[in-house]
C-alpha cells in the first residue's frame, strides 16, 4: 500500500523512543543474499551510534572509526554489544540508582512476502545460535495472513521463534482520526464542498487507501483555493483579521469578490438601488461582505457541532442509514439538503422506536459533548437553550416509571378504541375496520415524551444542518471546484499526447513551439515531438528510412527537386535514433521481427 513505508517508519521511531534505540529495518531489495542481509543489519546497529544508559538516548560519535562492510559480522556485533553494556565505574551518587538494563536488538522486515524464503531461513537459524548473548526481536510485516509465515518457514526454522500476532488498524480508522482531529474542528475555516470531498473519499476508498495521498489532495485543494485571488484571504475565523484585511482591499480585490458565483444571487435578491451599490460602491460591498462572512462563520461552527450530535443519535441504528462516521454525514450535508433525504427521515422514524434506556444514554452523550462548548463559547446562547431542553427531557424520563404508563393507558381508553360488550359479526367487523384506519393512536406518557424529544432534535438539526450554498460568498470558505479531478486523477495517454503533439501546451514558450494548428510541425520543436507527429501519419508498419527522411526534411530542408538521395548528417541521425528509442520506451512503437528496417506502431489515433 502507498502508506506501507510510512507506517513502518513511524513504528521504527516509536520503538526507538519507548523500547530500544537499536532498530534495523531490512528491505528485500537490499537483502538478496544472507551476506548482504548481515552487512545491512549490522551496519545499521553499529554505525548509527551508541546507547547511553545514564541518559537513555542514542549518542552518535562522529570521531569513532566506522566499520567496513567486510568487518560487519555477528562476532563483531557481539563484541560491540557487550562493550556497549559492560559494567562502568560509578562517578556520581545519582548514577547508583540507574540500572544498566540491556536493550533488545529489533529487526524490522516490512515486506515479508517479498523476501527470499531461503535467506530468511538461514538468517533465523544463524541468529538462534546467538540468542543467548544477543537478544533479538523480529517484527515481520505480513500483508496477507499468518499462514504465509508457516508456509515460508519449515518446522525446524519456525520452532526457533516465538510468534506473537498483532494487527494494525485499517486505513479508514486513520483517515477518520485525522479528519476528526484536524478538519472537522471549530478552528479550521477552510472547508471542502460536497463534490470535492466525495471525490477525495472515493479516491481513498476505491483506489489507493492512502491517508498520505488524501492529505496531499487537501493541500492541493487549498493551494487552488487561495490562488483564486485576494478574496480568499477572508477565509478566517478571526473577525479582527477579517476587518483589517477588508480595510486593505483595493478596487481590484472587490472586483475579485464580485466574480464569485454567489454574488449574482445576492444582487438578484436586492432592490434596484442596492444592486447599483453592490456593483459600484466598494464601501457598501465591504459592509455587506463582512456581515455575510460572520453568518458563514457561525454556520460552519454550528455545522460541525450538530453533525457530531446527530452522529451520536444515529450511529448505532439498524443498517446505519446515514453512516457511522462524521465524514459520511458531512458529505451528505454539504452536498444537498440532508433533511429532505429518505435516509434522514428513516433515521428519525427508527429513533421513534427507541427504548427509555437507549434514548437516555444518547441524550446524556449529547449533553456531555455540548456542555464544554457552552463554557468555552459563552455567546452560544442557542446551544445553551438546546442543552437546557435536553436536560429537561432527560429529567422527565428519569422521573418516569412503569406505573405512569399504566395510568396513562387507563386515561386514554374509551369506548371508541376498546371492544366491549356483546356484538354480532357485522358490528365486530365494522369496529375492527374503524380501528385499523385510525392514524393518530393514543400515546402513553413515555411515548409523548419520546415524541417531543425527537421532534426537538429534528427541528434543531433541520435549522442548522443546511447546505452551504444557501449563504452568499460561501466560496470564500468552501472549495467545490470539481475540475480539480483533472489534475489529481491524471489521464496519462491524453497528457502524453498533448505534450508530444503540442509541446507549447506545457512548456508555454514564447514563440519556438507555438503552432497554428495541430497538424503543423516546426523546426524548433523537440526531436521527440517531431518524430511523434510524423509517426501519426504512418500506418501499422513504419519504414525507418522513410521516417528518417521525413525527419531530416524538417530539421535540414533541401531542394525537393533533387532526385539524388539525401546525404545523412551523423548528428541528425543520432538525434533521430534517440527520438525513436524514447518513443519505443514510451510504448508507441516496437521493433518488428518481420522486417529489420521497420517498426510496428502500437497506438492509433490522437
96 and 90 in contact (C-beta within 8 Å)? Answer: yes
Closest by CA position to 23, among listed 1, 35, 34, 8: 8
Residue 62, pLDDT score: 47
Contacts of 594 (CB under 8 A, 6+ apart): 541
3-state class (DSSP) for residue 23: strand
Q: Which range has the worst mean pLDDT, 28-32, 396-400, 449-453? A: 396-400
Is the predicted pLDDT of residue 389 greater than 50, yes or no? yes
Give the pLDDT mean for 376-390: 75
Residue 384, pLDDT score: 87
CB atoms within 10 A of CB 287: 12
In DSSP terms, which residues pair with 599 in a beta bridge? 542, 591
Q: State the Cα–Cα distance between residues 9 and 13, nearest whole angstrom.
A: 6
Question: What sign has the CA pseudo-torsion 260, 262, 268, 269?
Answer: negative
Residue 55, pLDDT score: 40
Residue 381, pLDDT score: 74
Give the pLDDT mean for 392-406: 71
Question: Average pLDDT of the chain?
Answer: 84
Q: State the Cα–Cα distance between residues 568 and 549, nearest whole angstrom.
A: 9
| Run of H or E residues at 244 | helix 239-247
The 3-state secondary structure of 257-276, one letter per residue = HHCCHHHHHHHHCCCHHHHH
- DSSP type of residue 232: G
Please write the tens of the pLDDT for every residue from 298-346.
Answer: 999 999 999 999 999 999 999 899 999 999 999 999 999 999 999 999 9
Q: State the Cα torsion 437-439-440-444 to the nearest 10°.
A: 90
Residue 486, pLDDT score: 83
Is the predicted pLDDT of residue 395 greater than 60, yes or no? yes
Is the predicted pLDDT of residue 74 greater than 50, yes or no? yes
Helix axes 544-555, 570-586, angle to 10 degrees: 120
Measured in whole angstroms, the distance separating CA 435 from the mean position of its chain's CA atoms is: 55
Is the predicted pLDDT of residue 13 greater than 70, yes or no? yes
Q: Which CATH class is domain 492-601?
A: mainly alpha
3-state class (DSSP) for residue 192: strand
Residue 258, pLDDT score: 93
- Residue with more model confidence, 282 or 559: 282
Q: How many CA atoms lie within 13 A of 382 on its CB side?
A: 11
CB atoms within 10 A of CB 525: 26
479 and 193 in contact (C-beta within 8 Å)? Answer: yes
513 and 524 in contact (C-beta within 8 Å)? Answer: yes
Cell 508530444 identifies what position? 500
579 and 535 in contact (C-beta within 8 Å)? Answer: no
Q: State the Cα–Cα distance between residues 255 and 285, nearest whole angstrom.
A: 10
Residue 259, pLDDT score: 93
Question: Which own/partner contact pairs does 533-537 have at CB distance under 8 Å and 24+ positions apart?
Answer: 533/500, 533/501, 535/583, 535/588, 535/589, 535/601, 536/501, 536/606
| Run of H or E residues at 24 | strand 23-25
Q: State the Cα–Cα distance between residues 145 and 130, nearest whole angstrom.
A: 29
Residue 87, pLDDT score: 66
Q: At CA 423, angle to CA 418 and CA 425, rounded to 5?
A: 110
1 and 171 in contact (C-beta within 8 Å)? Answer: yes
3-state helix, strand, coil in the chain (%, to 5): 60, 5, 35
Q: State the Cα–Cα distance between residues 385 and 362, nearest whole angstrom.
A: 18
Q: What is the CATH T-level fold of the domain 4-158, as seen in this structure?
A: Rossmann fold (3.40.50)
Give me the numbers of helices (H) and strands (E) for the chain, helices first please. 27, 10
Give the pLDDT mean for 200-204: 94
User: CA distances (Å), 389 to each of 196, 209, 304, in order?
Assistant: 37, 42, 20
Contacts of 45 (CB under 8 A, 6+ apart): 22, 24, 77, 80, 105
3-state class (DSSP) for residue 564: coil
Residue 101, pLDDT score: 77
Burial 327-349 (b: 16+ CB within 10 A, else e): bbbbbbbbbeebbebeebebbbe
584 and 591 in contact (C-beta within 8 Å)? Answer: yes
Residue 29, pLDDT score: 86
Residue 606, pLDDT score: 44
DSSP 509-559: -SSSS--SSTT---TTS-HHHHHHHHHTTS-SEEEHHHHHHHHHHHHS---
Please write the tens of the pLDDT for every residue from 462-502.
Answer: 999 999 999 999 999 999 999 898 888 877 888 888 888 88
370 and 313 in contact (C-beta within 8 Å)? Answer: no
Is the predicted pLDDT of residue 43 greater than 80, yes or no? yes
The pLDDT confidence band at residue 425, using thresholds 50, 70 and 90, is: confident
Measured in whole angstroms, the distance separating CA 231 from the mean position of its chain's CA atoms is: 27
Q: State the Cα–Cα distance between residues 545 and 552, nearest whole angstrom.
A: 10
Is the predicted pLDDT of residue 63 greater than 90, yes or no? no
Q: State the Cα–Cα distance between residues 376 and 181, nearest whole angstrom.
A: 18
The pLDDT confidence band at residue 61, using thresholds 50, 70 and 90, is: very low
Considering only CA atoms, give the Rg of the chain: 37
Closest by CA position to 39, among listed 7, 76, 4, 6: 76
Is the predicted pLDDT of residue 277 greater than 60, yes or no? yes
Q: State the Cα–Cα distance between residues 290 and 244, nearest whole angstrom.
A: 11
The residues spanned by each domain of the chain are 4-158, 174-337+466-475, 492-601
User: 229: burial class by Cβ within 10 Å (0-12, 13-18, 19+)?
Assistant: middle
Please write the tens of the pLDDT for every residue from 551-600.
Answer: 988 888 765 445 455 678 889 999 999 999 999 998 899 988 888 889 98
- Residue with more model confidence, 64 or 430: 430
Q: State the Cα torsion 554-559-562-564 to the nearest 10°.
A: -40
Is the predicted pLDDT of residue 52 greater than 50, yes or no? no
Task: Give the length of the chain.
Answer: 606
Is the predicted pLDDT of residue 438 greater than 90, yes or no? no
The whole-model pTM stands at: 0.75
Residue 291, pLDDT score: 93
Closest by CA position to 460, among listed 375, 363, 379: 363
The pLDDT confidence band at residue 420, using thresholds 50, 70 and 90, is: low
Amino acid at each position: 500500500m502507498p502508506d506501507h513505508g510510512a507506517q513502518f517508519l513511524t513504528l521504527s521511531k516509536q520503538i526507538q523512543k519507548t523500547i530500544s534505540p537499536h532498530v534495523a529495518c531490512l528491505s528485500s531489495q537490499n537483502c538478496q543474499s544472507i551476506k548482504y542481509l548481515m552487512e545491512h543489519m549490522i551496519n545499521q546497529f553499529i554505525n548509527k551510534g551508541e546507547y547511553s544508559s545514564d541518559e537513555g538516548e542514542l549518542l552518535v560519535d562522529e570521531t569513532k572509526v566506522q566499520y567496513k562492510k567486510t568487518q560487519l559480522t555477528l562476532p563483531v556485533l557481539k563484541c560491540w554489544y557487550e562493550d556497549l553494556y559492560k559494567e562502568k565505574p560509578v562517578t556520581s551518587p545519582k548514577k547508583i540508582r540507574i540500572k544498566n538494563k540491556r536493550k533488545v536488538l529489533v529487526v524490522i522486515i516490512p515486506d515479508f512476502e517479498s523476501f527470499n524464503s531461503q535467506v530468511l531461513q538461514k538468517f533465523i537459524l544463524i541468529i538462534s545460535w546467538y540468542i543467548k548473548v544477543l537478544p533479538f526481536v523480529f517484527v515481520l510485516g505480513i500483508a496477507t495472513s499468518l499462514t504465509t509465515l508457516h508456509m515460508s518457514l519449515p518446522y525446524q526454522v519456525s520452532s526457533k521463534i516465538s510468534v506473537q500476532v498483532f494487527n494494525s488498524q485499517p486505513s479508514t480508522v486513520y483517515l477518520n482520526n485525522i479528519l476528526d482531529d484536524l478538519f472537522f474542528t471549530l478552528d479550521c475555516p477552510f472547508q471542502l464542498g460536497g463534490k470535492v470531498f466525495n471525490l477525495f473519499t472515493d479516491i481513498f476508498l476505491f483506489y489507493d487507501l492512502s491517508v498520505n495521498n488524501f492529505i496531499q489532495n487537501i493541500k492541493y485543494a487549498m493551494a487552488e483555493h487561495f490562488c483564486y485571488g485576494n478574496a480568499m484571504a477572508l477565509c478566517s475565523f478571526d473577525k479582527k483579521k477579517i476587518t483589517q484585511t477588508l480595510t486593505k482591499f483595493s478596487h481590484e480585490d472587490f472586483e475579485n469578490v464580485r466574480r464569485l458565483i454567489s454574488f449574482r444571487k445576492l444582487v438578484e435578491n436586492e432592490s434596484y438601488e442596492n444592486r447599483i451599490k453592490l456593483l459600484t460602491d466598494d464601501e457598501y460591498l465591504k459592509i455587506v461582505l463582512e456581515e455575510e462572512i460572520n453568518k458563514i462563520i457561525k454556520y460552519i461552527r454550528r455545522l460541525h457541532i450538530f453533525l457530531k450530535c446527530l452522529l451520536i443519535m444515529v450511529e448505532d441504528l439498524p443498517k446505519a442509514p446515514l453512516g457511522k462516521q462524521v465524514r459520511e454525514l458531512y458529505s451528505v450535508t454539504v452536498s444537498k439538503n440532508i433533511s429532505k433525504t429518505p435516509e434522514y427521515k428513516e433515521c428519525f422514524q427508527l429513533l421513534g422506536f427507541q427504548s427509555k434506556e437507549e434514548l437516555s444514554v444518547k441524550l446524556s452523550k449529547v449533553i456531555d459533548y455540548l456542555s464544554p462548548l457552552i463554557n468555552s463559547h459563552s455567546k452560544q446562547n442557542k446551544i445553551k437553550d438546546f442543552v437546557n431542553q435536553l436536560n429537561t427531557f432527560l429529567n422527565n424520563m428519569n422521573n418516569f416509571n412503569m406505573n405512569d404508563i399504566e395510568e396513562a393507558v387507563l386515561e386514554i381508553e374509551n369506548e371508541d378504541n376498546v371492544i366491549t360488550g356483546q356484538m354480532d359479526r357485522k358490528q365486530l367487523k365494522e369496529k375492527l375496520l374503524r380501528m385499523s384506519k385510525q392514524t393518530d393512536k393514543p400515546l402513553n406518557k413515555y411515548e409523548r415524551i419520546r415524541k417531543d424529544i425527537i421532534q426537538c432534535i429534528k427541528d434543531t438539526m433541520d435549522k442548522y444542518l443546511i447546505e452551504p450554498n444557501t449563504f452568499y460568498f460561501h466560496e470564500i470558505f468552501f472549495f467545490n471546484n470539481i475540475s480539480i479531478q483533472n489534475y489529481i486523477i491524471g489521464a496519462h495517454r491524453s497528457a502524453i499526447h498533448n505534450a508530444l503533439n503540442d509541446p507549447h501546451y506545457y512548456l508555454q514558450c514564447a514563440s519556438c513551439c507555438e503552432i497554428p494548428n495541430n497538424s503543423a510541425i516546426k523546426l524548433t520543436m523537440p526531436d521527440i515531438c517531431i518524430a511523434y507527429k510524423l509517426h501519426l501519419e504512418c500506418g501499422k508498419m513504419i519504414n525507418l528510412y522513410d521516417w528518417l527522411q521525413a525527419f531530416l526534411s524538417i530539421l535540414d530542408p533541401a531542394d525537393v527537386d533533387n532526385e539524388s538521395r539525401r546525404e545523412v548528417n551523423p548528428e541528425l541521425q543520432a538525434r533521430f535514433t534517440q527520438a525513436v528509442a524514447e518513443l519505443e520506451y514510451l510504448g508507441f512503437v516496437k521493433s518488428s521481427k518481420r522486417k529489420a528496417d521497420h517498426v510496428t506502431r502500437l497506438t492509433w489515433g490522437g
